[in-house]
Amino acid sequence: MKRKMEVSELIFKIVAYFFLIVFALMCVYPFLYAIGSAFSSQAANEAGDVILWPVEPQTAAFVYVMTNAQFWIAYANTLFTTIIGTAWSLFYSILGAYALSKKRIMGRHGWNFFLVFTMWFNAGVVATYLNYQATGEVFATLFAGSTNMFEIDLKWLVVIAMGMNATNIILLRNAFEGVPAEIEEAARIDGATEMQVLTKVYLPMSKATIATVALFFGISRWNGYFWAQKVMGTSTSLDGGGQPYSWPVQVYIRDFINKYTSLVTTYDPDTNKIFDDEVVSRNGVVYSMVICSVIPILIIYPFIQKYFAKGVNMGGVKE
């Protein structure tokens, strides 16, 4: 028999659904606005006439992005740093979390303290940059016979030197600690080595947390802009631009905004004109780039979302 809903419960559900719908619309609107701006004229964008739908529709900006070789080179760089960087970060995070989850490891509490300590106190921007710079110089010495880090491909510096995240290691550690010790003991009795215990027992039983951590790493790599821009420079940097061919797509978009639009800086059409005519909307080009850069996350996220709540719950709660 279906239970009759009380008035207070009905009111609560109506209010909850109302705020949920409003919040969902607030999340979707920026993407819809970007689509509308991408297919609107430059005059409509500058006048602020675009609210949701395209005004004075045109496709020239989107065609420009589709045929812009430099944009797709930057896109490929982002795919590289995201895929290789996520795999690298997962590799050593899993190994570190597995070691820290073992009570028999010497100095376990000390190592865990130092890991958590990095979450409480941050070295700061200057110290972090100097650390990355020193790491780049070491790579240049090893692989290029020079101390100038701009003589190596800085995509590898972004992949290797910028992959640490204490929170993700703690999530994995807690998930590993939740694996029953009896299963590990049974595996060792059957002759399993340490690596086989990790790959055959712990990883399969922690798939949800691993998928969640991979999602965290992947999104942070894909959206990563600040340190990539600081390390590689832009076209207005004092070093002459660093390595434009190694820029991820976020750095390329920001550089485009600074040089060719009035979204952040004052645009001077006499010195920064990149189009032969004004048919192509400069702001429309930026929004078209943003749409293209968001598509992979929109495609991948639904397939990993089912692991998200379960993975955070397993890794974030310690019994």
pLDDT over 70, % of the chain: 85
Residue at 21 is within a domain: no
Give a yes or no: residue 16 inside a domain.
Answer: no
In the block, residue with structure tokens 């100095």: 107
pLDDT of residue 272: 56
Whether residue 6 lies inside any domain: the answer is no
The pLDDT tens digits of the residues spanning 100-138 come to 888 888 888 888 888 888 888 877 888 888 888 888 888
pLDDT over 90 (residue 300): no
pLDDT confidence of residue 166: 85
pLDDT score at 235: 60
295 is a domain residue = yes
Mean pLDDT within 28-36: 89
* Poorest-pLDDT segment among 81-90, 148-157, 208-217, 309-318: 309-318
**What is the rounded CA–CA span in Å between residue 281 and residue 173?**
50
- What pLDDT is attached to residue 308? 62
Q: What is the CATH number of the domain that holds 90?
A: 1.10.3720.10
User: Is 47 a domain residue?
Assistant: yes
Query: Quick one: pLDDT at residue 7?
Result: 76
Residue range 73-106, pLDDT digits in tens: 999 999 999 999 999 999 989 998 998 888 888 8
Q: Are 258 and 264 in contact (CB under 8 A)?
A: yes
Residue 232's pLDDT is what?
A: 81
> C-alpha distances in angstroms, 103 versus 98, 110, 179, 209, 241?
11, 12, 13, 21, 49
User: Which of 76, 253, 238 lies closest to 153, judged by CA?
Assistant: 76
In the numeric block, the tokens 């192509």 are attached to 280
Interior/surface letters 172-188, b for 16+ CB within 10 angstroms, e for the rest: bbbbbbbbeeeebeebe
Residue 66 lies in a domain: yes
| pLDDT tens per residue across span 244-259 | 788 889 888 888 887 7
90 falls within a domain: yes
Mean pLDDT of 29-55: 85
Q: What is the pLDDT of residues 202-230, one digit of tens each?
A: 888 888 888 888 888 888 888 888 888 88
Q: Is 55 domain-assigned?
A: yes
> Mean of the pLDDT values across residues 44-60?
83
Q: Rounded mean pLDDT of the chain?
A: 81
Domain that holds residue 93: 31-316
Task: Report the C-alpha gap between 147 and 138 in whole angstroms.
Answer: 7
The pLDDT assigned to 2 comes to 63
- 222 close to 296: Cβ distance less than 8 angstroms: yes
Looking at per-residue pLDDT, the higher value among 215 and 3 belongs to 215
Q: What pLDDT is attached to residue 153?
A: 83
Q: Which residue, among 245, 176, 250, has the nearest Cα to 220 in the 3D structure?
A: 250
pLDDT-derived band of residue 312, with 50, 70 and 90 as boundaries?
low
Total count of domains within the chain: 1
